[in-house]
Chain A
Amino acid sequence: MKYFLYLVLFLQVSLTTASTLSERLAAFSELNESSGYFVETWSADYLDVSLVSKGRLLYKRPGKLSKLITYPDRIEQHIDGEQLSITHNNKTHDIQLSQQPDMAVGIYALQAILDGDEKKLHELFKPSYSESNTGWELSLITRDQDIADSIKLIFIRGKDDRIQQISIEFYNGDHLLTELTYED
């Protein structure tokens, strides 16, 4: 779940100026497909050095997402609707998202944002959106109490029409930071 939330970051979108979440999501809803590069860092007490992954993220309307990890080794993840396929070491296994709510909630959130589905976003999360001269920020807290017990905060930062960073803080001290860069 943590992982998919930062898919948001890499998306290159042409956002029109938006001052509210509704306007921001309305702009997302005009997006048909996009792609970008990510570097994600998982920090935790039990790690000597933070775990770094790099790769490429892809989105295609409606709700199709792909995460291609290229570093340190190749892992592919494809989401189509409710189905998540993970390929690692030439082995693929499928997961029904509905059976893994912890993982699914982030994907549903991402799908809601990229599809510009504000209703779904509100139903699943308590969003808090703000803008300043330096960019915009979106905080998401899941409404599912069980999941909310483990995830403290999902914080998304962007500037103009770019998502630059996603930070996910866990109650157990783990921290996931994803930074996005774009092809242009």
Chain B
Amino acid sequence: MPGIRFMIWLTIIGIMITYLSLHLRITDDIGQFMPAANHNSQLQALMSEVQNGPAATTLMLRLSGANDIELARISTLLRQSLILQSDVFKNVRNSNTSFELNALNSLFPYRYLLIDGLNWSPPALKETLEQRLVDLRTGAGAITSDFITNDPQLSFMRYLHELFKSEGPIVKHGVWFDKDIQSALLLISVNSDSLDLDVMQRAEDNIRQTFSSLSQISSVQLEISGPGVMAVQVRSTIEQVINNLSVFMIILLIVVFAFAYRSMYALLLAGIPLLSAVTVSLVATQAIFHEVHGIVLAFGITLLSVCLDYPLHLFSHLQSNESPSLSLTRIWPTLLLSGTSTIIAFMALFGSGFNGLSQLSVFAACGLTTALIVTRYILPYWVSPARVRPGLFALNIRLSPAGKIIITILLACLPVVIMLQSDIFWETSIDAISPVPASAREVDRKLRHDLNAPEVSHVFLQSDENIEKVLQSSEYISQQLQELQDLGIISRIWSPSLILPSVQRQRQRQQLLPTNQELSSNLEAALSGLPYRQAAFKPWLESVAASRTLSPLKYDDIVSTPLTNLLKPGLFQHGNMWISAIRVSDIRSKTEFNDWLDLHPKVKESHIEIKRATEHLLTEYRISTFERFLGIFLLLSIIIAFWIGSITRALWILLPVTIGLLSGLAMPILMGVAINVFHLLALLLVLGMGLDYSLFFNRAADNLFERQQHLHAISISALTTSTAFSVLAFSPVSVMAAMGQTVASGILMCFISALLLSSSTTTTAADYPEYIK
């Protein structure tokens, strides 16, 4: 019989491991742990675009540590080398002109559809042509002479200038430098449609290798940043945390089993529900979400230390004079109630709004359920009581009812006082839950600032299924915002309609173009007295004539050029909706800005302050999570009270849990960390584990031996769990650290308070309800 069970178990696990080896996909997108802005589809689309669009695959480079000429030399060589790796890099820029202008040739015929304000009268044309002569005399001829005969008004240059006028830092020796000319800067677009960390890792490696081959005898240093690089760093950190934690857990378990059970055989057996739980959890998460997040894996592995509780309970309750199945049957009702409570607590995370937390919910619930089932129906058939020798010990704590009340007040008040005395409580900054270290964020901020990269803090969003309507709305909003710029309240407006005007606007511009006859006549008059050869302007006359009948420029026409990187962050498709994002920068006065918006309700409707909106979203989410948590706590309390059949008894069971929960909240605050949504979510684990401890400590014990068994099992569980989470509390990944701080302190306090508060109620078996017998 055990042999058949073993074969069935082995087959199932084997199939699952095979499935995982073929399909398991670990991801590291921290956005999955951010709330989805379900109620604001535009904001959700924008955040998705920021997290996965061209901005996410752009790398910022800083070269420093040498003089400006050497830096410019390395910058130029680096660009030349990287641009050859077209399979990895889409674009490598180190100056405003480092576009392959030839790649923009396809847009040149559309130049008269792209800008306004051209004057075709003879005097205006004459002035323009005279200005070109001045250009030739003053050195600007090097720039403009190519355009004299086909675009004397420099309309295409004006179009490009409008797009790039505030873009990029200062230029020296032909390359970008920071304001102090201390470092050369580059902007690189990685050849990837979305944020693929393997591609980003490869891109970073290629850049570093190329740089190192170019600067072998140079003192130049390279710094790389950008969302992709930071995500790669986070992935690496998470992997390191997972590895360290795994090694730590193995060592911890070996030590614990060696001392507590004096049996490595027990450790191997304990691994069976654990291995089963991890395997089933991964399969379920992968099957449902088509991926498993690295943080889920790391937290989940720690979480599954809870799974270890179940075999621990079994091992600690083994008796040489009864079969393991019978031993387990004795404690099964309590184990089932405890396990079910924890599973219910974690299932409440499903559909929480965080994709990552939904994964965690599935991972935890499946893992705990599996561990419970394997412990109940498989493990007893394999374990031999003779080979497991739990080192039972006794703690004869006795407290009078008054003493219990005093202890309760003390243990409950301590965390409350800590929380009340603190200036901080709720975390309102989204940066605080970012897994990216503050130092890396600072490097990124400085590079972004030096590169004059566009800020996405204030945007005006328009959306519609019809791209033409979106562009027309963008043009309207931009036109309105122009007043803000004229008033000096903002320094710049950037709208996607600058790159791609609406068809309506392009048609209007076509209608304003002069006829061939008008232009010829005006040109002839303008050329009078100037040294130009009239016939040389034939290409210009032809191109203006052609412009009148051109089909307006479309989205795909721009996307096929290097301007795509400029357009896509501001005009993109989300589902079947087109979204346009107009940015404004350098707001002089927020008060004036907001006052102006109040006077323009139509413009205000489309305004979003990203940071505030995101933090608002997070606050809403925290409140919702807190309410959800209170709901779960209430539900479990009712279940326990109903199961036990006594409100008073239920209260004594729930008191240690409450103390643990308060302590779980107080510990981060004591460490100077404000409570964020991840602390709240970690409380669910404290709740589940706390109930387990409290239920077992309050379980009726027929004799001292059985009480010692409870104490043994729970002590080992509390020790391993709180130790594992203490390690996590010092993780460099803030999300993991938050969970670690809360769980470690919460579990420890649950254990201590449950031990103390259950002491007087475990003296007489007759005092206990039937449910535990």
Contact = CB atoms under 8 A, between A and B. Distances in A.
Given A51-B133, A96-B170, A101-B173, A150 B142 contact: yes
Interface string A90-121: 00000010111111111010000000000110
Contacts of A104: 171-172, 174
B77 to A, nearest CB: 10
Interface stretch (B21-29, B199-207, B529-537): B529-537
Interface in A40-73: 40, 42, 44-51, 53, 69
A176 B95 CA distance: 27
Interface string B158-181: 000000000000111110010000
A75 B138 contact: yes
Contacts of A124: 69, 173
Contacts of A102: 97, 142-143
Contacts of A163: none
Most B Cβ at <10 Å: residue of A48, A50, A145: A48
Most A Cβ at <10 Å: residue of B139, B145, B172, B536: B139
Contacts of B170: 96, 98-99
Contacts of B148: 44, 46
B529 to A, nearest CB: 11
A103 to B, nearest CB: 5
B141 A2 contact: yes
Contact of A42 (B96, B98, B141): B141
Interface string A117-135: 0011001100000000000
A46 B137 contact: no
B532 A2 contact: no
Interface string B177-207: 1000000000000000000000000000000
Contacts of B139: 1-4, 77, 103, 106
B63 to A, nearest CB: 15
B134 A75 contact: yes
B617 to A, nearest CB: 40
Given A48-B532, A51-B531, A146-B174, A88 B76 contact: no
A13 interface: no
B136 A101 contact: no
A47 B531 contact: yes
A97 B202 CA distance: 37
Given A2-B139, A51-B136, A98 B172 contact: yes
A134 B130 CA distance: 40
A101 B173 CA distance: 7
A147 interface: yes
Nearest to A176: B141
A44 B174 contact: no
Given A53-B137, A144-B76, A146-B97, A45 B142 contact: no
Contacts of A123: 69, 73
A174 interface: yes
A52 to B, nearest CB: 9
A138 to B, nearest CB: 19
Given A101-B171, A124-B173, A174 B145 contact: yes
Given A51-B531, A146-B174, A88 B141 contact: no
A170 B148 CA distance: 15
Contacts, number: 107
B138 A146 contact: no
B76 A2 contact: no
A172 B133 contact: no
B142 A98 contact: no
A101 B97 contact: yes
A151 interface: yes
A39 interface: no
A18 interface: no
Given A46-B148, A145-B80, A69 B174 contact: no
A120 B80 CA distance: 21
B715 interface: no
A124 B172 CA distance: 11
Most A Cβ at <10 Å: residue of B69, B73, B173: B173
Contacts of A170: 142, 145
B146 interface: yes
Most A Cβ at <10 Å: residue of B146, B170, B174: B174
Given A46-B533, A46-B536, A101 B95 contact: yes
Nearest to B536: A46
Nearest to A105: B174
A74 B700 CA distance: 106
A88 B173 contact: no
Most A Cβ at <10 Å: residue of B138, B143, B532: B138
B171 A3 contact: no
Interface in A1-51: 1-4, 40, 42, 44-51
Contact of A98 (B134, B137, B138, B171): B171
A53 B138 CA distance: 10
A153 interface: no
B174 A147 contact: yes
A53 B143 CA distance: 19
B149 interface: yes
B140 interface: yes
B532 A47 contact: yes
B76 A145 contact: yes
B535 to A, nearest CB: 9
Contact of A3 (B97, B138, B532): B138
B80 to A, nearest CB: 7
Nearest to B170: A98
Given A46-B533, A108-B173, A144-B76, A1 B133 contact: no
Interface string B93-128: 001111000000000000000000000000000000
Nearest to B134: A88
B339 to A, nearest CB: 68
Contacts of A150: 142, 146
Contacts of B73: 123, 143
A176 B139 CA distance: 11
A172 B142 CA distance: 10
Contacts of A99: 96, 170-171
Most A Cβ at <10 Å: residue of B73, B146, B170, B172: B172
A69 B133 CA distance: 13
A68 to B, nearest CB: 12
Given A46-B536, A49-B531, A146-B98, A172 B171 contact: no
A75 B533 CA distance: 24
Contact of B533 (A45, A106, A108, A119): A45
A177 interface: no
A101 B177 CA distance: 12
A72 B693 CA distance: 97
A46 B149 contact: yes
A113 B537 CA distance: 39
Contacts of A141: none
B154 to A, nearest CB: 14
Given A1-B142, A51-B531, A42 B171 contact: no
A151 B142 contact: yes
Interface of B: 69, 73, 76, 80, 95-98, 133-134, 136-143, 145-146, 148-149, 170-174, 177, 531-533, 536-537
Interface of A: 1-4, 40, 42, 44-51, 53, 69, 75, 77, 82, 86, 88, 96, 98-106, 108, 119-120, 123-124, 143-147, 150-151, 170, 172, 174, 176
In the A-B complex, the 5 residue pairs with the closest CB atoms: A3-B139, A46-B536, A101-B174, A98-B172, A144-B174
13 contacts: A2-B141, A3-B139, A42-B136, A46-B536, A48-B533, A75-B137, A98-B177, A101-B171, A102-B97, A104-B174, A145-B76, A147-B174, A172-B146
Given A3-B141, A103-B142, A146-B95, 18 more contacts: A2-B139, A3-B138, A42-B137, A47-B531, A75-B134, A75-B138, A77-B138, A88-B134, A88-B138, A98-B170, A100-B143, A101-B97, A101-B171, A103-B139, A103-B143, A108-B173, A124-B69, A172-B145
